[in-house]
Amino acid sequence: MLSAAPAAGRSPPVVSTATTLSAGPGVLVGATWVWEAPPVLVHDLPTPALVVDADALDRNVARMAEVRPGRALRPHVKAFKSTALARLLDDAGHRAFCAATPRELVGLARAGVGDDLLLANEVLDAGRLAELAAATADGVRVTVAVDSVETVEAAATAGLGSVLVDVDVGCFRCGCDPADAGRLAELARDRGLEVRGVMGYEGHLMLDPDDTRPDRVESAMALLRSAHEAVGGDVVSGGGTGTWQDNTWVTELQAGSYLLMDTTYAARGLPFEQALSLHLTVVSASARGWVVADGGLKALGMDRGNPSADDLDVLYCSDEHTTLVRHDGGPPLPRVGGRVRLRPAHVDPTVAYHEVLHVARGDEIVDTWPVDLRGW
C-alpha cells in the first residue's frame, strides 16, 4: 500500500507493514519515502545521501530523446532502479523499458509504468518468472531474453508470451552463438512463444577508444544482423550509453547510464551531464593532513575505481569512510562537520546501495525517489 508524505507539522503515519524499511528520520513505505520532517536543503540531508541534480537529469533525458525519441530508446532500469525516474521517462514518451532482474520489471508493471517491458537477461527462476507474468496487466507486453533450450523452456513454462533471442556479439557474457539463433527461434515458436527478434549487448565496447569503437561496433552488429536474418521479427535491441551514436543498427537502444552518469562515462567526453553525487559529512580531521567523511565502499560502486571529489583528492575508500587530502593548489581541507560531494565512478552499483534518491534543484530538495526496484 502506498502512503503520501505527511504535510509539514503533522505527525508521521504509524507504519507496520512488512515492506517498511527504516533509515534515519524517514521510512520507506512500499514505494514511498515518508519523512518525519522533510529536509529543505541539500545541506540538511542526513549523510551519506545520494543526490540527483534534476536540471541535469532533465537535460540528459532531452539530449538522448533528440536522437532516440519514443520507442527508439528502451531505457535500462538497472542504472537507476526507481519507479519515479522511470515514470519521468514514460512521461517523456519512452514507454518501452528493459531491465536486468524480474524485480525491476515487476515493480514497473505493478506501478503501471511503460507498456513494453523487456527482461534483457537470462533468468531460469520459475517463481520469479511466474510472478512477472502475473504482474503484467492488460495492454502491457512482457518479453524475455533467451539464449538456450533451458531459458526458452523457462519462459514457456512461466506463461510468458514473447521472447528475444539473445546473441553473443563478443561481450563474454550471455547470448547464443549467432549461428544457433535460428534454431532457438524455431524452438521458441514450437513452444508457443512469439519471437519478436534479437538482442545483443556490445558491453565490451562501451569504453573503447574513439578511433577503434565505430568499426568494432559495426562488426559486433554484423553478428547480430546475421542472427536477425535467421530469427525474423521486428526488434533488434542492443547498445548502451557508450555506443549511443555509433550503434545505428539497432531498432531500439538499451541505454541507462546516460541519465545519471558517472566519472567513467564522463571521461569518454559524452554530452551527458553528471547528475548524480554522493554527499558526505566530514567526521574526523587529522593534523597530519587528511579528513575523513562518513561514507565509503558501502555507499559507492567501486569496481571502476575511486570516486572524484570537488576540489579535493580521494586518498582511499574503506567500508564506512572516504579519506580525502588537499588537491594541489586547491582550497583548504573542510573542517569537521563540513560537507563533501563525491562523483561515483560507476552509477549502477552506487544506486543499488541506497534506499532513496534525493532530488534537488540547485540547493533545494524538491522530491525524494525511493530506489524501490532493488533486489532480484
Ligand X SMILES: Cc1ncc(COP(=O)(O)O)c(C=O)c1O
Which residues of the chain form contacts with ligand X (CB under 6 A)?
A: 76, 79, 120, 201, 203, 206, 240-242, 254-258
Q: Considering the complex, what minimum distance in angstroms separates the CB of residue 257 from ligand X?
A: 3
Identify which of residues 90 and 122 has a Cβ nearer to ligand X in the complex.
122
Q: How far apart are CA 59 and CA 290, in angstroms?
A: 36
Cell of residue 154, nine digits: 523457462
Identify which of residues 199 and 231 has a Cβ nearer to ligand X in the complex.
199
Identify which of residues 27 and 255 has a Cβ nearer to ligand X in the complex.
255
Cell of residue 226, nine digits: 546475421
Cell of residue 367, nine digits: 522530491
Identify which of residues 34 and 117 has a Cβ nearer to ligand X in the complex.
117
Q: Considering the complex, what minimum distance in angstroms separates the CB of residue 250 from ligand X?
A: 10
Identify which of residues 120 and 280 has a Cβ nearer to ligand X in the complex.
120
Residue number with the smallest Cβ distance to ligand X = 240
Q: Considering the complex, what minimum distance in angstroms separates the CB of residue 124 from ligand X?
A: 17
Q: Considering the complex, what minimum distance in angstroms separates the CB of residue 103 from ligand X?
A: 15
Identify which of residues 205 and 333 has a Cβ nearer to ligand X in the complex.
205
Identify which of residues 125 and 313 has a Cβ nearer to ligand X in the complex.
125
Q: Quick one: which of 281, 301, 309 has its CA closest to 345?
A: 301
Q: Are 190 and 149 contacting, i.e. CB atoms less than 8 angstroms apart?
A: no
